């Protein structure tokens, strides 16, 4: 099987890689670019653990092919903190203990950031619907929702 040469931007850095046409973006991020923050939960687009933003759209990276990354701009969890300075959402997740095992957390954070960029003042219902594609088997969701609402409040005041 011949490989495809792809040039893409991830977290504002340009990357070039070779990939098989059957590899997903998630495979490429984790196995070719060593960006292992995005997790594989289901590989069928149900759980959201692999959520990334591609050209401004929240997507499951397991449902995008690596070859489709050509010319695109991708944002992953690795681009969220500014060096040692956590994003307000990340800090609020710590403050509210909004995680236990942590597998879903990168996807939840990427999704929540995408929401707050589109809607800085969401209602609790809007947060719950937006995050319906991010499954968490530990928290029961309540702490996640509280952390996102609190982060949104802090970000509006900043």
Partner 1 sequence: MQYEAPETLAAAVELLAGTSGQARILAGGTDLLVQLHADMTDPDLLVDIKKIQELREITNVDGRFTIGAAITGAELGEHPDVKKIWPGVVEGLELIGSTQVQGRATIGGNLCNASPAADVVPALIAADAIVHVAGPAGRRQIAVEEFAIGPGKTSLAKDEIVVSLSFPPRGERASDAYLRFIPRTEMDIAVVGCGISLERDAHGICTQARVALGAVAARALLVPAAAAAIIGTSLDAAALDNLAAAASTACSPIDDKRGTIEFRTDVAGVLARRVAKIAYDRAG
Of 48 and 88, which has the nearer Cβ to partner 1?
48
Choose, by CB under 8 A, the member of 9, 31, 32, 63 that binds partner 1: 63
Do residues 28 and 35 touch, judged by C-beta distance below 8 A?
Answer: no
Minimum Å distance from CB 84 to partner 1?
A: 29
**Closest by alpha carbon to 107, among 19, 37, 28?**
37
Minimum Å distance from CB 61 to partner 1?
A: 9
Query: Quick one: CA dihedral 146, 37, 75, 68, positive or negative?
Result: negative
Partners of 8 in beta bridges: 15
Give the burial string for 52-65 (b: 16+ CB within 10 Å, else e).
bbbeeebbbbbebb
Choose, by CB under 8 A, the member of 9, 133, 146, 155 that binds partner 1: 133
HSE, CB side, 13 Å, CA atoms: give it for residue 86.
Answer: 11
Residues binding partner 1: number (CB under 8 A) = 32
CA 46/CA 48 separation, integer angstroms: 6
Of 53 and 149, which has the nearer Cβ to partner 1?
53
Using only C-alpha atoms, the chain has a radius of gyration, in whole angstroms, of 16
Task: Specify the stretch interacting with partner 1 by CB under 8 A; choose among 9-17, 53-61, 76-84, 141-149.
Answer: 53-61
Q: And the tokens for 31? A: 């196995």
Minimum Å distance from CB 156 to partner 1?
A: 21
Of 62 and 145, which has the nearer Cβ to partner 1?
62
Subset of residues 103 to 122 that bind partner 1, contact rule: CB under 8 A: 111, 114-115
Binding site for partner 1 (CB under 8 A): 1, 4, 21-22, 24, 43-46, 48, 51, 54, 57-60, 62-65, 67-68, 70, 111, 114-115, 129-134
């Amino acid at each position: 099987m011949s490989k495809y040469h792809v040039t893409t931007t991830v977290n504002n850095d340009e990357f070039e890689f070779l990939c098989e046409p059957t590899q997903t973006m998630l495979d490429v991020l984790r196995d070719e670019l060593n960006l292992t923050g995005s997790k594989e939960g289901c590989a069928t687009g149900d759980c959201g653990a692999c959520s990334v933003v591609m050209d401004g759209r929240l997507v499951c990276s397991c449902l995008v092919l690596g070859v489709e990354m050509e010319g695109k701009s991708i944002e992953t969890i690795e681009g969220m903190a500014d060096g040692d300075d956590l994003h307000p959402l990340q800090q609020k997740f710590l403050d509210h203990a909004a995680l236990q095992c942590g597998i879903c957390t990168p996807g939840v954070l990427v999704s929540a950031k995408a929401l707050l960029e589109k809607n800085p003042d969401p209602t609790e219902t809007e947060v719950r619907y937006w995050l319906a594609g991010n499954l968490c088997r530990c928290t029961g969701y309540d702490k996640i929702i509280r952390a996102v609402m609190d982060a949104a409040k802090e970000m509006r005041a900043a």
